[in-house]
Amino acid sequence: MNIINHNSSVALTSMSYKYYGLVSVALLLTGLWFVVWQWPQGKHMTFSQHVARHKSATIYYFFLFAATLPLLNIFFISWFVPHFQLSLWFTVFAVAASLLQIACTVIPELPGWRTAWHQALAGASALLLLPLPGMLACSSHVPTVGRLLAGFALLTMMGIVAFAIRANAKHTQNILVAQVVYFAAFFVPILFISYL
């Protein structure tokens, strides 16, 4: 009887982690919308560039990611990866991308050495996300529609990377739109697979 109760308790606890992903993404989207609304700079600037010129904005930006990304990784580690029997590499890439994203918020994208460091950390973080939809697209434990959506997400993300390299990111008028599409492409299959 104790074994049954223990197993039920573990299953219930694991299930509660399922919704950490949804909460994390909702908070992150709301927080990024607030960035664009509170510190508007236009579509030719990234989220980081929107906040770089205001000390209060850079502090807010750091705490936004420091609060939401650990929740997202708890979701990945405690529910998503075990539930869909994904490789340990999914967790490694997700955690590494999150740590680099938080690190880049500590160095605002201001002129001089800070721009180079910020862009290197942010770029590495974004590139570390690329294998994740690929892993979902190749997993036999993910429903077929989810695999197709993940494959489309991967192609979209790769297209945006190619666009950013070709346009030299700094000189494109729609870099914010490209950034939004890149991260939407990453999150949509995960949310679809998890909650629909």
| Residue 6 confidence (pLDDT) | 45
Q: What would the mean pLDDT of 147-159 be, rounded to a whole number?
A: 98
Total domains present in the chain:
1
The per-residue pLDDT of the chain, averaged, comes to: 91
Domain of 10, in residue numbers: 2-195
Smallest CA-to-CA distance from 182 within 95, 66, 101 is with 101
Give the mean pLDDT of 126-137: 97
| Residue 166 to residue 164: CA distance in whole angstroms | 6
pLDDT at 168 over 90: no
Would the pTM of this model clear 0.85, i.e. be above it?
Answer: yes
Tokens of 168: 């030299």
Cα–Cα distance for residue pair 90/133, rounded to 1 Å: 9
